[in-house]
Structure 1
């Protein structure tokens, strides 16, 4: 699960919780606001209707009619008075079942089409009860409710936005230490052993950061110690090389002496490069012209091949072939491939060397021989089916993969070994 997914899920959880709370709060509130608004408006109409009762006891119908007209002019409600003789004063209204019930002496509030009617039963100057009816429409009962609910909805939206903002800040605070730990891990994986986590956030993350820093320090110490040991070992090789050079100077044949000194110079150069490499650490892939390096090494191996009766075939490109490998590394890798042929095949075994451009840049180096071939085409460091240390082909593999290419082992058409090394471009 990525950190972005964690933040997204945390935001979704908080938003869903806030929405549930708002819905659980808003729906009952809507019903309450509507009920309160309707009750207030009905109560107001009932009070106004009760104000007509004293007039019923002392005024004539004509005077009462004028009072009803005056009352209706200043209000949105409609008022009607049902007299015992069947006349209706004020606004015209049907004599509903609720009105008939009020004529029996009951005062009530009843639902009516489009609103509610407030019915008051009173005794006036006329024979029988008089019913005062006040009609309150739905629009009047719920006037202002829409605006109030809109304000509540805006308030809920504001609370939701605040919740999202708080969640974003909280998610950032929680995931920032995780992102830092992930970045430090990636830097360590790229070889930056100086990377350290600052720590922060929850106690568990602080503990993880401390453990990661401890691991980085231990890796740095181990790598440093290993480099020192390799450098010391490489430096110790200078002593036998010096002795070997003194022995070479005692040779009487100038040609043999020059040949042996040239070989010693190459070995000493390789030892020096190894010391520089382990002292300086990995500095990334180098760059060289594969055509030049392979051509130079072929001059050396051609002489040895002629002495052992080995025929060399193949074609080496003459145009520049830049690859992402140091010249010394490519030279060592090539020497490993050819020396394996001399070590694991009998004298007189022919071999072929081909160097060609690689599609997309780089070069393809292919070495085949007419020997017995590979017993196992897997490259495994420290394991070999030929009685060797098993490090040679692993060196070639690391050079090719570090350049962005790959190493492939197979069988040649003659049944011998085939090694295909693809070298990536700089």
Structure 2
């Protein structure tokens, strides 16, 4: 913003200085021409005065030599007897000839044989001085303009920083701003919007808590039924699923009683995926699925809570198990490279017919809620990353999440993490 304002001020100051400079140069040139003509007229009048006293050739030559026009060979005198003192011959403007009486009683012609030069050293120096003054004036105008708009720029920066803080971290942050009235009004509007957002979030947490508490009763009944069905792989799988659901409900109830700032904003993608894949790998074994998990040894931190990333992993895996037949192969991989951390979930199912529509919230053509990919999209975009739905190497759908690595510089226009993933397999 500051650079944009500086460039705008520089363009405006340069245009103004150029306009003033051109006008000044034209006026200076016209003034120099008028002064040159006035000087020529004065020197010609001096020669006329000499002719009124004498027509002696030597005296006239000396008088011409003392004038600038005469010394430059532009001033001539033609006497009545045909003699010419100074430069003779034709000249471009005979109208400048002046017929004057002489001391001898005759008539002489005093003429300027060439106009005085307009472009002189003095004129060049004057124009150079004007250029210097125009440059200094433009520089001073830019500096003064920057100083005058600095309060507004500072207010805009406060607005931007606080709005980003409200959007990504804490809705309880409010803008305290002094500056132009328009920006103060904008700050008040942002604060009002943040207040409304806070109230909506509070209502949402209350609703989630209420729904979660209502789920406890059927979950308790389901757990008692699961414990009574005996042993076996199916019974064990049901009990693990019920336990996982109870854990998720408890986590939801705990989260709605805290503000977002109470939870860690950074987690290790590899560690979270490893933790969640313990459950999903066992579930895959029960269905006869081959589940390949490839995780890095080095930490892969992203600016996302472990609960949020765990919900992403669960949503993606739930999509695989819900939309592909049992025994369908699935692969999960995490790769860290060039400031990006890529989480890839591959399956050997039928794939996604319309990848663009699949990313729309609530859109599903297979009887599900259509929220799984939207949960993943919201999480990855909160870190500055992107989500991609593709055809994978297993022949089915590939969901590729590209997270921006925490505290790391990365080129947004040239991500290469998934290219490395392709080379490793």
Query: Which residue number in structure 2 is paired with residue 10 of structure 1?
Result: 12
1:31-60 superposed Cα distances (whole Å, 9 cap, x missing partner): 21112212222323333443448xxxxxxx
Q: Is 1:315 equivalent to 2:293 in the alignment?
A: yes
Q: Do the aligned residues in 2 keep the contact of 1:406 with 1:422 (CA within 8 Å)?
A: yes
Q: Is the 8 A contact 1:362 1:424 kept in 2?
A: yes
CA contact (8 A) 1:102 1:119 kept: no
2:103 aligned with 1:122: yes
Name 1:330's counterpart in structure 2: 309
- Give CA-to-partner distance per residue, 1:129-162, whole Å, 9 cap, x none: 4678999999xx979x957646644664465346
Q: Deviations over 1:261-307 (max 9, x none)?
A: 6652343224434553x543998x513141x3223222222343444
Query: CA 1:386–1:214 in structure 2 vs 1: closer, same or farther (change >3 Å)?
Result: farther
> What secondary structure is seen at the aligned counterpart in 2 of 1:215?
helix
CA distance in 1, matches of 2:299, 2:189: 41
Map 1:45-56 onto structure 2 (within 5 A).
45-52=47-54
Query: Does the 8 Å CA contact 1:353/1:367 hold for their aligned counterparts?
Result: yes
Structure 1 residue 380: deviation in Å? Answer: 0.9
* C-alpha distance 392-289 of structure 1, shift in aligned 2 (>3 A): closer
Equivalent residues in 2 for 1:381-396, closer than 5 Å: 381-396=361-376
Aligned residue for 1:383, secondary structure, equals coil
How far apart are the structure 1 equivalents of 2:103 and 2:341?
Answer: 113
Q: CA–CA distance in 2 between the matches of 1:269 and 1:417?
A: 30
- State whether residues 349 and 371 of structure 1, in contact with CA within 8 Å, keep that contact through their aligned partners in structure 2: no
Whole-Å separation in 1 of the counterparts to 2:86 and 2:100: 8
Q: Does 1:39 align with 2:41?
A: yes
Describe the SS at the equivalent of 1:319. Answer: coil
User: 2:417 is matched with which residue?
Assistant: none
| In structure 1, distance between residues paired with 2:132 and 2:337 | 60
Report if aligned partners of 2:54, 2:103 keep a CA contact under 8 Å in 1.
Answer: no
**1:28 matched to which residue of 2?**
30
Where 2:66 maps in the other structure, the secondary structure is: coil
Contact between 1:10 and 1:167, CA under 8 Å: does it hold in 2?
no
- TM norm structure 2: 0.67
1:297 to 264, 273, 276: 276
Tell me the equivalent position of 1:367.
345
Mapping of residues 4-403 of structure 1, within 5 Å: 4-52=6-54, 72=62, 76=66, 98-100=78-80, 112=88, 120-123=101-104, 129=105, 149=123, 152-153=126-127, 156-157=130-131, 160-161=134-135, 163-165=137-139, 167-168=141-142, 171-172=145-146, 176=150, 179=153, 183=157, 186-187=160-161, 190-192=164-166, 194-195=174-175, 198-200=178-180, 206-207=181-182, 209-236=183-210, 239-240=213-214, 263-273=245-255, 275-276=257-258, 278-280=259-261, 286-290=266-270, 292-307=271-286, 309-317=287-295, 319-324=297-302, 325-345=304-324, 348-360=326-338, 363-378=341-356, 379-403=359-383
> How many pairs are equivalent?
375
2:277 is paired with a residue whose SS is: helix
How large is the RMSD of aligned CA atoms in angstroms? 5.0
Cα deviation code 1:150-180 (max 9, x no counterpart):
6644664465346525643565477657745
> Which digits, 9 at most, give the CA deviation of each residue in 1:284-339, with x for residues without a partner?
x513141x3223222222343444x3323313336234131432222111111222
Aligned counterparts of 1:169 and 1:376: Cα–Cα separation in 2: 55
Distance in 1, Cα, partners of 2:62 & 2:381? 97
Question: 1:296 and 1:175 mapped to 2: Cα distance?
Answer: 53
- What's the CA shift for 1:14? 0.9
**Structure 1: any 5+ residue segments left out of the alignment?**
54-63, 79-95, 124-128, 201-205
Return the alpha-carbon distance in structure 2 between the equivalents of residues 305 and 240 of structure 1.
Answer: 30
- Going from structure 1 to structure 2, the CA distance change for 1:33 and 1:114 (only over 3 Å counts) comes to farther
